[in-house]
Amino acid sequence: MRLTIVPEPRLAAAVAAAAVPWLLPGGLGMVAGAVAVAAVGAALVADFVLLPGPRAVRIAREVPDTIGLGDDVAATVRVENDTPRVLAATVGDQLVAPLHGGIGRADVVLPARGVAEATFTFRASVRGLATLGPVGARVRTRLGLVARRLRLDAAAPVEVVPSVAGVGRYRLLALQHRLDVLGIRALRRTGDGLAFAGVREYAQGDDPRRIHWKATARRQKLMVREHVLERAQTMLLLVDAGRNMTQLVGDVPRFEQALSSVLLLTDVAASVGDRVGLLVFDDQVRAWVPPRQGPRALPALRTAMAPVRASLREPDYAGAFRFLAAQQRRRALVVLFTDVIDPRASQALLAHVGRSAARHLPIVVALRNDAMLAAARPVVGSRPAALHEAAAAEELLEGREMALAQMRAQGVVVLDVSPAQMTPGVINAYLAIKARGAL
C-alpha cells in the first residue's frame, strides 16, 4: 500500500535541532529538550492538519497525441490547488524508453485556489506507440515538515511518427524565396511545364516576349500571355524498407531519414497541387497510399508510415514494381529511396527500374554509405586489417558505381547522395523536373 503522507527533509532537520537542548547539563537540558520536542510535535500536528486532502489538489499532464521521431517535445504538468492556502509542490515526471528525458523534477508554488505548471522536455527514439511513465507531486504547506504524495499513472500511449519538423522551415523559406539557405536552387520555370492560362492587358515590367500580337491587334492595345506552372501531376514515392536501410547514420536508421525526406518532399509537391502517393516495401508491400492531392496528402502518408519499420529482409524490387504497374498506369514521377551494395540486388534493381522508365519518369535516390566510403580510404600507417577492409569496401563501391552508371544510361535520374544531403538533393531534382516540364 502506497503511503500518501511522507516526511520531508525539513522534519529531519527539526528533530535534529530538538535533540541539541538535551545536551545541556542537569535539569536545564531535560526541560529545554522537552520544550523543543513539544514544539516540534505541535508544528508536526499543525502541518498535518493544514495539509490538503487527497482531492483538494489535482495533477494532470498535457502531451501531444502524436510526436515526431527525434523532435524535442514538451510535456506540461498542471497542478491545481483548491484550498484557500498557498502551497508548495515538487513535481516529478518519469519518462520511459523509447522516450528519453529521464525523471524530470521541478519546484512550483501553488497559489490559493490557483494553478501552477511545470514543463519537461523529452525526445522519442523509436517510432510506434510509446507509453509515458507516471507523474507525481509532493505537496507541502509553508511549514514543510510533511507532504502529501499524489500520483498520476500513465495515460494512453502517444504515437511516435516520422518527424515533420523541417516542413515549416522549408515552407517558410519557399515563401520568402530563400530555399538557397537549405541548399535548394532557385530554378526558372520554362519549357512545356508552363501552361497557357489566358491573356491580360500589358503592365509595366512585363516581358515584351510575352506580348500576344493577335490579341493586341483585335483589342487595339497591348496584351500579354499569362502562363501557370502545370499542376495536378502525379508523384509516387517508393521507400525501400530492406536490410540496407537499417544501417545507422548517427543513432537513426537511414530508413527513418528517408521517411522524413519523403514528408518534406510531399509537402513541397502538395503545395503546388501535385498528387502524391506512397509505396513502402521490403520483401512485400508494407504500406500503400494512392496518390492524393492538396493538404490531404501529408497526413495520409504520415499515418501510413507510422507502423512500418525497416527489416533485415532483402527488398523485392520485382514485386514492388509489379504492384506499382498494377496500381498506377498513367505516367508519373517515381522517386525510389534505396541503396544497393550487393551486386545481385543491383542487377534486380537495374532491370526493373530500367523497365519502369518506359512508362514513368524514375528517380533513384541512392543513399551513400559514408562509413564504407571512409573505410575505402585508409589513412597512412593503418593496420593490415584496415587495408584488407579498404580493398573489400572499394570493390563493393566500384560495383555500386557501375550499377548507378547503367541506370543513368537507361534514362534513370540517379541521385548519389549522403543521407545528410538527401532532402535538398531530392527537392532540387523535383523542382528541376517541374521547371523543364519533363514529366
d(CA 359, CA 330): 8
More confident residue, 290 or 233: 290
282 and 407 part of one domain: yes
**pLDDT for residue 89:** 92
What are the E-state strand segments in 144-233? 146-152, 158-161, 194-201, 223-229
Domain's final residue, options 129, 145, 161: 161
46 and 151 part of one domain: no
Residue 310 in domain: yes
| Span between the terminal Cα atoms of the chain, in Å | 69
The strand pair at 66-68 and 194-201 is best described as: unpaired
pLDDT more than 90, % of the chain: 29
269 and 378 part of one domain: yes
Task: Please name the helix (run of DSSP H) or strand (run of DSSP E) that holds residue 337, with its range, or none.
Answer: strand 333-338
**pLDDT for residue 302:** 85
Residue 210 in domain: no
**pLDDT for residue 190:** 39
Mean pLDDT of the chain: 82
What confidence tier does 29 reach under pLDDT thresholds 50, 70, 90?
confident
pLDDT more than 70, % of the chain: 85
Q: In 3D, which of 334, 333, 338, 335 has the Cα closest to residue 315?
A: 338
Domain's final residue, options 97, 130, 161: 161
Q: Are 338 and 388 in contact (CB under 8 A)?
A: no
155 and 272 part of one domain: no
pLDDT tens per residue, range 143-175: 999 999 988 876 667 877 777 665 555 544 444
pLDDT tens per residue, range 325-343: 999 988 999 999 998 776 6
106 and 18 part of one domain: no
142 and 288 part of one domain: no
**pLDDT for residue 428:** 82
**pLDDT for residue 155:** 65
**pLDDT for residue 126:** 76
For residue 45, give its domain range: 8-50
Give me the number of domains the chain comprises: 3
Residue that is written with C-alpha cell 522549408 in the block: 170
What confidence tier does 277 reach under pLDDT thresholds 50, 70, 90?
very high
Query: Residue 128 belongs to a domain with what CATH number?
Result: 2.60.40.10
pLDDT tens per residue, range 80-123: 999 999 999 999 877 655 565 555 788 999 999 999 998 888 77
DSSP 8-state secondary structure symbol assigned to residue 253: E
pLDDT above 90 (res 238):
yes
Residue 206 in domain: no
Query: Would the pTM of this model clear 0.75, i.e. be above it?
Result: no
pLDDT above 60 (res 182):
no
Residue 204 in domain: no
pLDDT above 80 (res 409):
yes
**pLDDT for residue 206:** 75
The strand pair at 194-201 and 115-124 is best described as: unpaired
Q: Which amino acid, residue 294?
A: G
**pLDDT for residue 176:** 41
Query: Residue 432 belongs to a domain with what CATH number?
Result: 3.40.50.410
37 and 65 part of one domain: no
pLDDT above 50 (res 189):
no
239 and 263 part of one domain: yes
387 and 300 part of one domain: yes
**pLDDT for residue 202:** 84
298 and 396 part of one domain: yes
Mean predicted confidence (pLDDT) in 34-57: 91
Residue 203 in domain: no
For helices 26-50 and 9-19, what crossing angle results, to 10°? 160
Residue 299 in domain: yes
More confident residue, 273 or 190: 273
340 and 247 part of one domain: yes
Residue 104 in domain: yes
**pLDDT for residue 188:** 42
Question: Which residues, in sequence order, are CB contacts of 301 under 8 Å at separation 6+?
Answer: 237, 262, 263, 266, 276, 278, 289
Domain's final residue, options 112, 128, 161: 161
What confidence tier does 275 reach under pLDDT thresholds 50, 70, 90?
very high
Q: In 3D, which of 327, 361, 322 has the Cα closest to residue 439?
A: 361
Residue 15 in domain: yes
Q: Are 433 and 233 in contact (CB under 8 A)?
A: no
**pLDDT for residue 429:** 84
**pLDDT for residue 146:** 92
Q: Are 391 and 353 in contact (CB under 8 A)?
A: no
303 and 358 part of one domain: yes
